[in-house]
Amino acid sequence: MAYFINPDECTACGACMDECPVECISEGDDFYTINAEECTDCGACADVCPVECISQKD
């Protein structure tokens, strides 16, 4: 199950992108996004998010 960044809560700080071991996070205009097909579900991004806007997508 891939992780998901809530665009309404993301502050575009970039902490998640720097932490992702498979580089599946990309920068958007106002928030970051996770490529669900490339995500390995490691949770590293969620662990470093300062606003806790990253969770597993159901």
What pLDDT is attached to residue 1? 81
Model confidence, pTM = 0.89
- HEC string of 1-53? CCEEECCCCCCCCCHHHHHCCCCCEEECCCCEEECCCCCCCCCHHHHHCCCCC
* Domain ranges within the chain, ordered by starting residue: 3-56
pLDDT value at residue 12: 96
Per-residue confidence (pLDDT) for residue 43, from 0 to 100: 96
Name the residue with tokens 């998901």: 4
Class of CATH domain 3-56? alpha beta
The predicted structure's pLDDT at residue 29: 86
pLDDT in tens, 6-57: 999 999 999 999 999 999 999 988 999 999 999 999 999 999 999 999 999 7
pLDDT value for 58: 66
